[in-house]
Structure 1
Amino acid sequence: MLDIFRGLKSLIRVSHIHTDSPIFRLHYSITVLVLVAFSLIVTTRQYVGNPIDCIHTKDIPEDVLNTFCWIHSTYTIKPEKRWKADAKLGYPYPGVQTTVDEKDKRLIKYYQWVCFCLFFQAILFYTPRWLWKSWEGGKIHALMMDLDVGICSEIEKKQKKKLMIDYLWENLRYHNWWAYKYYFCELLSLINVIGQMFLMNRFFDGAFLMFGFDVIAFINSDQEDRIDPMIEIFPRMTKCTFYKYGVSGDLEKHDAMCILPLNVVNEKIYIFLWFWFIILSVLTFFTLIYRIVIIFSPRMRVYLLRMRYRLVRKDAIDLIVRRSKMGDWFLFYMLGENVDSVIFRDVLQELANKLARHNFHHIPGFKGEIQEA
């Protein structure tokens, strides 16, 4: 079974160059990997069994009946239309009863599309990453110049640091639009995960939004009174109606009972996805709140740089944040994630010195160059 996952290795490779946040990476790495893996699992019959097995008399070939019921969908009886049987007796199979009105039927027709839906969801989760990768344009990688490892000759290190400082100096206050594009991708990720909850709710006829809460309530309820919500959405036994012409040319109706072993896998997949999407939505929402605070609070930007890069002098960070914009702060933060900490300290220190020399007559109380740590 491990053979089907060999092609997914590229999805879990973590790049040593970080151009985004850990929460954003959860969307396009772990989530995409999980969705593609689930899509492969439900399409691999030999590992999960036949998707459908129908029981009927020998008048109809088994393969014909199974294929017909798989293509044309099966059905159960809607919960509100079922017999009001004694709770102690219950139903032999929930939803499998005789029906008089066609309106009482609940068609189970989603199972043919589960693998395609999961793969489509994976594409949607990767879309914000694809956008940011094209908009970022390799800026972080170009500015790093292999300075993530501080082991190189002093001459080479000095040249690379000078190139980085020159770029930051010449392009200071021009990175807002670049940063806002990334923030838009994070917003798009939140919209995507919430939208997919509603997409799956539509896919399962309005039964998915409360699915996780129903499962929790089912686990905590009394054993005699509880009805498994996973069987309601993913029934394991359904009915199928097959019409054929007899020897006299009259139309014959045949009712068959069908077992859906694939739904045992589907219910586990979607209960996991429900909880995972809820967790992902909450984490992404708080990330966006954090971004809003960063945009409108220079003090928070100073505090975060101080906490993250303690080797840089506080007065240097204060000056840099005061003389730059939010987009520059985002670039500094991303560079600090990727460049060697000592080299990054020297870069920010030299940038602060250049700012101080260029703007000393505008800075109250300035008495000289900022000293290196």
Structure 2
Amino acid sequence: MFDVFGSVKGLLKLDQVTVDNNIFRLHYKATVVILIAFSLLVTARQYIGDPIDCIVEGVPSNVMDTYCWIHSTFTLPDRLNGEVGVDVPHPGIGPHTDKDEKKYHKYYQWVCFVLFFQALMFYIPRYLWKTWEAGKMKMLVLNLNCPIVAEDTKSCRKKLLIDYFIANLRGHNFYFARFVICEVLNFINVILQIYLVDLFLGNEFSRYGTAVLSFTEEDPERRVDPMAKVFPKVTKCTFHKYGASGTVQRFDGLCVLPLNIVNEKIYVFMWFWFIIVAVLTGLALIYRALIVMSPKARQFLLKNQARLSKQADINLINNKCLPGDWFVLMQLGKNMEPLIYMELIGELSERLQGKTSV
């Protein structure tokens, strides 16, 4: 098991240079790691363990297991209600005829693949941003934080950084716009994932979490477990074969799906996780809109980032910069030591005032 999950550790490594924010990392780090871990867990249970066991007389158990796994199993929605053990033997199980409504469960073969595909989808905005960012921030802060680099080298690097910033002043909006596009893609993706999982589970996922929460408040003797409805542990399967005289014989089998014990827990967690990530990402977009529209908000956040710098220097820089320039300065602050960042802000302020030659 440790070997299976060992490959996920690489995704948890922290980047040497920060080019995004914590909400962004919720998507491409936390969510991707969670989904890949779930996919590996289901794969281990599905292809290494025993995902289905079917009981029927007259058909070899291994044949019945394979047949029902490939052709899906079903439950009876009308048999979900009632006291288990008295009215029905198992939720969704009981005698039936061809006229009874049947709900087929075909998703379980695809759960591991869907989870992995979702992980890829959550990584796409990160991939786009890394491609568009192209290592710019890493090049800008190169050697400035390294303790073994000579002070003369650091001073030279800092001067080059200031020269770059002055030369490209008011020219970083396109860089910033690409980051905002990726933030929007994160939000669109998590909403799309909720919708796609809902389709995958037969329109049950959208209300799955709330149904699980309300389940504990219902009458214990008559309540219907929503997890048993979406992920039944006991299902039915009908096997057909030709008899000795050529007549088609029907064998009504009972199947146990231990894999659904894992699946139901995974999707309960995913429901709450997706809702939390969607809400936080939506709030982050509101915050981003406020930043773009409000110079005062940018000034406040820049002051919070450059706590050691003079207020006059921050005010001057904020008045001269567009949102894209402000964004680059904030990113620099995340990747530089506070004292070096203070010196950068001070010297940049002097250059913007024209006190030193360009």
Q: TM-score range by the shorter chain?
A: over 0.9
The amino acid across from 1:68 in the alignment is: Y
Residue equivalent to 2:202: 205
Does the 8 A contact of 1:48 with 1:265 survive in 2?
no
What is the SS of the residue equivalent to 2:181?
helix
Residue equivalent to 2:62: 63
Once residues 281 and 255 of structure 1 are traced to their aligned partners in structure 2, the CA distance between those partners, rounded to angstroms, is 44
Which of residues 133, 142, 147 in structure 2 aligns to 1:145?
142
Residue equivalent to 1:360: none
**Aligned in 2, Cα 1:84/1:320: closer, same or farther, shift over 3 Å?**
closer
Is 1:331–2:309 an aligned residue pair? no
Higher mean displacement: 246-255 or 141-150: 141-150
Residue-by-residue CA offset, 1:293-333 (whole Å, 9 max, x unaligned): 00000110000011122111111111111111000100000
What is the SS of the residue equivalent to 1:242?
strand
Once residues 299 and 150 of structure 1 are traced to their aligned partners in structure 2, the CA distance between those partners, rounded to angstroms, is 35
The amino acid across from 1:62 in the alignment is: S
What is the SS of the residue equivalent to 1:221?
coil
The amino acid across from 2:218 in the alignment is: S
What is the SS of the residue equivalent to 1:104?
coil
Once residues 46 and 73 of structure 1 are traced to their aligned partners in structure 2, the CA distance between those partners, rounded to angstroms, is 14
Shift of 1:85: 5.1
Once residues 106 and 46 of structure 2 are traced to their aligned partners in structure 1, the CA distance between those partners, rounded to angstroms, is 22
Once residues 52 and 87 of structure 1 are traced to their aligned partners in structure 2, the CA distance between those partners, rounded to angstroms, is 22
Is 1:314–2:305 an aligned residue pair? no
**Superposed counterparts of 1:141-220, under 5 Å:** 141-150=138-147, 152-220=149-217
Unpaired runs of at least 5, structure 1: 358-368
Residue equivalent to 2:112: 115
Is 1:233–2:205 an aligned residue pair? no
Does the 8 A contact of 2:80 with 2:224 survive in 1?
no
Does the 8 A contact of 2:75 with 2:104 survive in 1?
yes
Shift of 1:88: 8.7
Once residues 117 and 81 of structure 2 are traced to their aligned partners in structure 1, the CA distance between those partners, rounded to angstroms, is 40
Q: In angstroms, what is the RMSD of aligned CA positions? A: 1.8
Once residues 283 and 48 of structure 2 are traced to their aligned partners in structure 1, the CA distance between those partners, rounded to angstroms, is 38
Shift of 1:47: 9.5
- TM-score, structure 1 normalization: 0.92
Aligned length: 356
Does the 8 A contact of 1:149 with 1:340 survive in 2?
no
Once residues 65 and 71 of structure 1 are traced to their aligned partners in structure 2, the CA distance between those partners, rounded to angstroms, is 10
Once residues 220 and 83 of structure 2 are traced to their aligned partners in structure 1, the CA distance between those partners, rounded to angstroms, is 15
Unpaired runs of at least 5, structure 2: none
What is the SS of the residue equivalent to 1:44?
helix
Shift of 1:91: 1.8
Once residues 220 and 179 of structure 1 are traced to their aligned partners in structure 2, the CA distance between those partners, rounded to angstroms, is 48
Which of residues 273, 278, 282 in structure 2 aligns to 1:285?
282
Which of residues 335, 348, 354 in structure 2 aligns to 1:351?
348
Is 1:132–2:115 an aligned residue pair? no
Shift of 1:16: 2.2
